Amino acid sequence: MATEFTMPKLGLTMEAGTILEWLVDDGASVGAGTPVLRIETDKVETDVEASGSGRLHQVGVVGDTYDCGAGIGWFLAEGEEPPAVSAPPPPSVAPTAVGPSTDAAVPPAAAAAPGGRILASPNARRVAAERGVALSAIAGTGPGGRIVSEDVERAGLVVSPAAAATTGSGPGVPATMAARLLADLLGVDLARVPGVEARRTRDDVARYVRAMLDAAGPAPAQPDPTTTSAPLSQEPTSTVALRGMRGTIATRMHQSLREMAQLTLNMDVDMDTVVAHREAGRQVDELPLPGYTDYVIASAARALVEHPLINSQVTDDAVALLPDVHVGMAVAVDGGLVVPVVRDTASLTLAELTAETTRLAQAARAGALTLAEMEGGTFSVSTLGMYGVDGFTPVINPPNTAILGVGRLRQEVVVDGPDTAPRAVTRMTLSLTWDHRAFDGAPAAEFARTIKRHLEADWA
């Protein structure tokens, strides 16, 4: 009996995956647990194992993005054919075709969350930004009226009046499953699609749609007023596409600043005891040797236990205090940064924490992090000290309510009193950004002062 192979949900926050590569041939016999394809989520690239066994009939197309739970293939017995896929039911609110029209169409209203934020998946927001489609003009067909990427695809398609009059995938027309899925998505009648082979293929549908687009001419631009960019003042030497990791970072950081009331305070810490403790470890060939950021993470984790309000998350109507402390650490990689999470940070010794941060940093730079290693953080630490930066304004990593920036170690001369001689001190600036919705400046300052106290304590 045919068993459907769906896009897996590999983490709590995963909503969709993009197929990068099928690792086995179409029609190959596979067993459960065999790696069969590589996907990209909004966080990582990872291999996906077969959820069943049999002859794998591939439906998912390389380069296309599928929601979690969407069918991407079938596991078939020998000689078995994949089942026919019926056309999905039409959405309750028909999407408006964008294109030349003699009548002014009223755009459907997008569903909004409390506070007026439009409900849309991250992938839908990315596709909308790429195509210049306003989310406010799209009716969502996802749960609760949520806009999904297919809604944006439909809204951004230019359809000729003749083609728009006929929809459906033409159940009587011989066609591959991929061709039917694409035809259903774009509202194309397969009977109108010329084919090279006996069965219509996905490429046949794509060629037909491109021909329609060419005949219809360019679609009128629909820029989202909240994301409209200024015109280029010069001809660029090159461009960096806002997609993949770079697009995810751009979306999340913009969302963070838009949805939170973020403030930052700076506090200097004397690091002489930390420097002495680390140097003592170097003398006895301690491996791995703790980095200065390890000391900061350890101190922050202890402070989070003492200040549970900081280890929190804002919900629609409350500030939820979280019982477990999981500190994320920002790691720079090619094309951006990732934030692997040190789990149960407060319970680790300094040596255990150092071993874990070393392992996670190596995995991050090798592109070998799993989704589980990047989810569940309750607080983050970001370091720019290695670049000579004293203090900066880190941006909170949602859904956390705070993040700590770590500056460089520097030498300063201080005078403790009128009758004391000047002395040299090794100092570091900590920059704490917090969400003012969750707590005020006084609790934030008390938390930063507790981190300072732990860092300046005797580490022996």
Place of tokens 């929601």: 67
Domain that holds residue 48: 3-76
Residue-level pLDDT at 316: 86
Whole-angstrom Cα distance, residue 247 to residue 452? 35
Domain total in the chain: 2
Q: How many alpha carbons fall within 13 Å on the CB side of residue 322?
A: 21
231 belongs to a structural domain = no
Residue-level pLDDT at 86: 45
303 belongs to a structural domain = yes
Reported as type and span, the H/E element at residue 301 is helix 292-306
Which CATH number covers residue 391?
Answer: 3.30.559.10
Residue-level pLDDT at 112: 57
Q: Which of 76, 104, 136 is the endpoint of a domain?
A: 76
95 belongs to a structural domain = no
Whole-angstrom Cα distance, residue 208 to residue 210? 5
Q: Are 62 and 21 in contact (CB under 8 A)?
A: yes
Lookup: tokens for 186 = 């774009």
Residue-level pLDDT at 89: 40
263 belongs to a structural domain = yes
Residue-level pLDDT at 43: 65
Lookup: tokens for 362 = 């190596």
Q: Which of 76, 98, 122 is the endpoint of a domain?
A: 76
At residue 144, the 3 state secondary structure works out as helix
Q: Are 340 and 360 in contact (CB under 8 A)?
A: yes
Q: CB pairs under 8 A, 24+ apart, for 25-32?
A: 26/56, 26/57, 26/58, 27/55, 27/56, 27/57, 28/55, 28/56, 29/54, 29/55, 29/56, 30/54, 30/55, 30/56, 30/75
Q: Are 205 and 187 in contact (CB under 8 A)?
A: no
287 belongs to a structural domain = yes
302 belongs to a structural domain = yes
Q: Would you say how long the chain is, in residues?
A: 460
Q: What sign has the CA pseudo-torsion 299, 300, 301, 302? A: positive
Torsion of CA 263, 268, 274, 278, to 10 degrees: 80
Whole-angstrom Cα distance, residue 116 to residue 6? 33
322 belongs to a structural domain = yes
Backbone angles phi, psi at 104, to 5 degrees: -80, 115
Instruction: Answer left, alpha or beta for residue 42, where phi above 0 means left and psi between -120 and 50 means alpha.
Output: alpha
Which CATH number covers residue 31?
Answer: 2.40.50.100
351 belongs to a structural domain = yes
Residue-level pLDDT at 269: 96
pLDDT along the chain (460 residues), means of 10: 86 77 90 88 80 89 86 88 58 37 44 55 65 70 71 59 39 66 69 76 78 64 55 84 72 84 96 93 82 96 97 92 96 85 96 95 88 90 95 93 96 88 94 96 96 91
Residue-level pLDDT at 90: 38
Whole-angstrom Cα distance, residue 74 to residue 77? 10
311: CB partners within 8 A, 6+ apart: 304, 305, 321, 322, 325, 378, 379
**CA nearest 88: which of 61, 70, 63, 73?**
70
Whole-angstrom Cα distance, residue 191 to residue 174? 9
Q: Which residues pair with 435 in a beta bridge?
A: 262
Q: Which of 30, 55, 76 is the endpoint of a domain?
A: 76
Q: Are 135 and 151 in contact (CB under 8 A)?
A: no
